Amino acid sequence: MDSDRFLRELPELFDDFPHSEHPRDRRFEPVLEVENLASENVLALLNLAASCLGPGEAYVEVGVYHGASLIAAMLGNEQQRFVAVDSFVLRDGSPANVEANIERFGLSPPDLLVGDVFELVPEGALDGAPVGVWYYDAAHDYHSQVEGLRIAEPLLVPGALLVVDDTDWADVERALDDYLAAQSRARRLLTIEGKDRGFPQWWEGMQVLLWDG
């Protein structure tokens, strides 16, 4: 995973990072037609992260909903490996909806794992998939947020990015602080504030952690 390239190129995607209302490249705007919980800026960040994967590394997204963020990550990165994990208990999400939306954008299906990530990963569902990007956007209560990072650790390659959404929320922010205080092999690479702190173009905020391995 080329985390240096990610950090270097992220500001270049915008006219005025992180203040820009949208990235310079507007190809993510149509993706927002898929029911989603994101923004163009978030989608651009995920796409860049996926483009920085090393050979054989995987982008893993936990919490797929209807697939908008997954589609955005895949655009132009079709050579990479993508794995999506979701129990599809949120509203009307379903594997069929995700697959149909991905097909609509002319993309090849990712590896789609249906079930609880806290059961699937310990059971070995992701064994053999060295992870360069772990995007966690599932349950954001304190316990789930901490465990949603911990379960990824055995799968992460050195330099992997752990991307977390909705970091303006108190439980998420506290969980990340406590996780980093207890885990010396991870460090905070980037914090972007969300709408509650004056940056609605970044939805509910994001943080990116770096796994030093």
Domain boundaries, the chain: 3-211
Q: How far is CA 127 from CA 62, 124, 142, in A?
A: 15, 5, 26
Instruction: Give the pLDDT score at 93.
Output: 73
Instruction: Give the pLDDT score at 37.
Output: 77
Instruction: Name, in order, each residue with C-beta under 8 angstroms of 33's C-beta and a sequence gap of 6 or more.
Output: none
105 φ, ψ (degrees, to nearest 5): -95, 10
Sequence-ordered alpha helix ranges (H) in the chain: 3-9, 40-51, 68-74, 95-104, 117-120, 142-150, 170-182
What DSSP designation does 107 have? P
What's the rounded Cα separation, in Å, for the pair 29 and 33? Answer: 8
What's the rounded Cα separation, in Å, for the pair 49 and 161? Answer: 8
- CB 178 within 8 Å of CB 146: yes
Q: pTM of whole model > 0.85?
A: yes
What's the rounded Cα separation, in Å, for the pair 166 and 176? Answer: 11
Instruction: Give the pLDDT score at 89.
Output: 81
CATH code 3.40.50.150 for 3-211: yes
- CB 86 within 8 Å of CB 64: yes
- CB 85 within 8 Å of CB 64: yes
Mean pLDDT by 10 residues, the chain (213 residues): 97 97 96 89 98 97 94 97 91 86 95 96 92 95 96 97 96 97 97 91 95 89
